[in-house]
Amino acid sequence: GQNIDQPTEMTATEGAIVQINCTYQTSGFNGLFWYQQHAGEAPTFLSYNVLDGLEEKGRFSSFLSRSKGYSYLLLKELQMKDSASYLCAVRDTGGFKTIFGAGTRLFVKA
Amino acid sequence: SQTIHQWPATLVQPVGSPLSLECTVEGTSNPNLYWYRQAAGRGLQLLFYSVGIGQISSEVPQNLSASRPQDRQFILSSKKLLLSDSGFYLCVGSVNTEAFFGQGTRLTVV
């Protein structure tokens, strides 16, 4: 079966660093995505990993370990506007289906 | 760049009424297209995906159906809505590693 797990909620302080974990069990793997979604809006793309290792993009970094079925999204220098849901998504081998996790709601407090 | 136009943005429909949500794609051809539903506080659930005209794969048994009459047109339909069909519906397109999202339709069945 297909399963993607991420924590339901996290809280962090403005200026701090937060790591959002994602584990997956899928029938195939052709890339892992992280998206940010503000309430009532469509998700926006943050990162894409297909090979093991760390991808850095400004304040956001994403890590992948295919052998462990594990990824994390790292957010540095948190800002209030980073309060949102963060979705982990895995695309299957054929590249046709993308399965989303339930998302992690991040609350950034002052 | 690729964009998806999805309408309407909000919709209130009575139980038992029909549904038709439409999305159209601009800026690319032959995309993979997807309909996702997001229930309140939950992740994106894949409903249908299409790799080409007339090709529809259903992921979850339900009273919804999808059609792709043209390469850049994807339609989600129902003959009779249920209360449980309420949610946020997203049309998503994908070309290679990129995914692009419509703005979503918030459907409330009353």
Burial of B74 by CB count in 10 Å (0-12 exposed, 13-18 middle, 19+ buried)?
buried
pLDDT in tens, B98-109: 788 898 999 999
pLDDT in tens, A69-98: 999 999 999 999 999 999 999 988 766 778
Distance of alpha carbon A98 from alpha carbon A35, whole angstroms: 12
| Structure confidence at residue B44 as a pLDDT band (50, 70, 90) | confident
3-class DSSP state for residue A43?
Answer: coil
Bond into B8 cis (ω within 30): yes
B42 touches chain A (CB under 8 A): yes
| Structure confidence at residue B4 as a pLDDT band (50, 70, 90) | very high
| Structure confidence at residue B2 as a pLDDT band (50, 70, 90) | confident
pLDDT at B65: 95
A2 touches chain B (CB under 8 A): no
Q: Which of A3, A24, A37 to mutate to test the interface with B (most CBs of B within 10 A)?
A: A37
A40 touches chain B (CB under 8 A): yes
The residue among A37, A41, A23, A51 whose CA lies nearest residue A106 is: A37
Is there a contact between B44 and A43 if contact means CB atoms under 8 Å apart?
yes
* Regions of chain A short of the pLDDT cut 70: 1, 94-95
pLDDT in tens, B51-99: 999 999 988 767 899 999 999 999 999 999 999 999 899 999 988 767 8
Mean pLDDT of B10-30: 94
